[in-house]
Chains A and B, each alone.
Chain A
Amino acid sequence: MSTENTGFLYPFIDAEERDAGPLLASLAASARLKARESAVLQLATLGTCADQIAACAAAMAGRFAAGGRMYAFGNGGSSTDCATFAELFARPPEGRPRGYRALPAMNLAADQAVVTALGNDVGFDLIFSRQIIAHSSPRDIAVAFSTSGSSRDLTTALREASGRGLLTVGFAGYDGGEMARSDAVGYCFVVRSQSVHRIQESQALLGYQLWARTQEALKALREEATS
């Protein structure tokens, strides 16, 4: 160590730092600030997307009512968020509102045999589009989760799905990327933020709202049919 006492200039890189109190206090304050930012972004996003959510939910309900299935896909953390979204449809938790039903929804990243076979044989960009080709019918729904909005494997799959008549839905962040500009994406929900984490937190709530609205729309369709 240098004999010069310069630690006061760099309190946060000081290897001699011993009292964790100030760090813990600043971590807690930072956590609360970020949580507030996340909540503000969620509210703003839900506000901006309200009409789109209602329209998309109505379209999805129509597909499900006609016997369609939903395919959800994404990369990395977004693949897990799309898995949660798909599970919400396929395996809604006990205690959900009355009349909310389980609906056929699959997470296309879930099967390691299929994903690695396609990645190895035809390339990573085609891991989801090849599954759309194999599985889909025109009454189905394709939902992609992305933060950039431009991942090639997702945009390729949405293009394939759109060409086959599927209802296509994209979740994106930043400025919406390729998904927001593409005519292959029927409904594109853009979370306008530069932070991957804050984008994913808003997408989760958007997805939840889309699920709830779809369930309400399906209930209304059933009531119409029986009245």
Chain B
Amino acid sequence: MTAGAPAAAGIAPDILDHGLATDLAAAALAIARRFHAGATLWCAAPAWEPHAHHMAVEFVHPVIVGKRALPAFALSGPDLAAQARVAVHAGDLLIAVAAAHDPAAADVMRRAPAWGAHTIWIGSGPRPPGGAADHVLWIGDSDPLTPATGRFVLLYHLLWELTHVCFEHPGLLTAPEPGECAEEVCITCSDEGRLGEVIEPPAGPLDRALIRTADGEEPVDVSLVAPVAPGDLVLVHAGAALTRPA
């Protein structure tokens, strides 16, 4: 595209800059791959719930005739983490439209790795910390009114459009993503431990807790981090909870 085309006069050249476009492309391919593997998309927007519903309806009832209907639900209600915890299965997708400081969105994004969910976070203003979601699609603009101007609508429309382009590339839907662990043993992962969420604390001092990780539910020795309560997050390595995430 030629920069400064006459029709674009007056439009901010960074309406969708190269970095954000690249992030969108990567997110779309990740979404297509997970849908291909049977994922459901869970949509949240705690402070602007209509965005959650809009994202879900895009995927469930495509505006373009002939595009696949895909499983997507809006999560709305008073306790997002409680809803997401029971709704999300390992391999699912969780997308949020929210500011970085939104406590409900930040909470589910933090827990999502324990549920095995792949996460996409759309927002504006100050960015969430690095690694807060698998895909961070961010608009730098700090205007608190941005969520009502259509800029988020553009982002999730594009995400839907690009996801469906990916379905036309069947050979790429099953390939591992760059940086993803393709091997059973991964040095990086084994060093870091897996995020787990406490389901049931130990019944007694010598018992183990029931912990949910991306791999399922498992009994884990929590003596190093005791006492634990349901919902607490821990890092699990070799059958023991070594620490709590920072």
Task: Tell me the B209-239 residues at the A interface (CB within 8 Å).
Answer: none
Q: Are B161 and A197 in contact (CB under 8 A)?
A: yes
Q: Which chain B positions have C-beta within 8 A of A12?
A: 168-169
Q: Are A32 and B10 in contact (CB under 8 A)?
A: no
How many pairs, one residue from A and one from B, have CB atoms within 8 Å of each other in the complex? 148
- Cα-based distance from A32 to B12 in the complex (angstroms): 12
Q: Which chain A positions have C-beta within 8 A of B165?
A: 23, 27, 30
- Sampled A-B contacts (24; CB under 8 Å): A14-B171, A17-B169, A23-B172, A24-B26, A27-B28, A27-B166, A28-B22, A31-B162, A32-B18, A36-B16, A40-B11, A77-B63, A80-B50, A80-B54, A80-B57, A83-B50, A84-B50, A93-B144, A93-B145, A93-B147, A94-B144, A96-B145, A201-B157, A207-B148
Does A224 sit within 8 A of B, measured CB to CB? no
Does B150 sit within 8 A of A, measured CB to CB? yes
Given A28-B22, A77-B54, A87-B50: A36 touches B1 (CB 8 Å cut-off): yes
Q: Are B1 and A40 in contact (CB under 8 A)?
A: no
Task: Tell me the B142-175 residues at the A interface (CB within 8 Å).
Answer: 143-145, 147-150, 153-154, 157-158, 161-162, 165-166, 168-172, 175
Contacts A30-B165, A31-B24 aside, 9 further interface pairs with beta carbons under 8 A come to A13-B168, A13-B169, A24-B25, A28-B18, A28-B21, A31-B21, A80-B54, A81-B54, A81-B153
Q: Which chain A positions have C-beta within 8 A of B28?
A: 27
Q: Mark A183-198, 1 if CB is under 8 A from B, else 0.
A: 0000000000000110
Q: Are A32 and B169 in contact (CB under 8 A)?
A: no
Q: Which chain A positions have C-beta within 8 A of B21?
A: 28-29, 31-32, 35
- Cα-based distance from A87 to B21 in the complex (angstroms): 29
Closest to A86 in B: B50
Closest to B1 in A: A33
Number of interface residues of A (CB under 8 A): 51
The SS class assigned to the B binding surface is helix
Task: Tell me the A62-93 residues at the B interface (CB within 8 Å).
Answer: 76-77, 79-81, 83-85, 87-88, 93
B residues apposed to A, CB below 8 Å: 1, 7-8, 10-12, 15-16, 18, 21-22, 24-26, 28-29, 48-51, 53-54, 57-58, 61, 63-64, 143-145, 147-150, 153-154, 157-158, 161-162, 165-166, 168-172, 175, 177-178
Q: Are B169 and A31 in contact (CB under 8 A)?
A: no
Q: Are B24 and A27 in contact (CB under 8 A)?
A: yes
- Cα-based distance from A142 to B57 in the complex (angstroms): 24
- Cα-based distance from A203 to B153 in the complex (angstroms): 11
Closest to B177 in A: A20
- Cα-based distance from A33 to B1 in the complex (angstroms): 8
Q: Which chain B positions have C-beta within 8 A of A29?
A: 1, 21
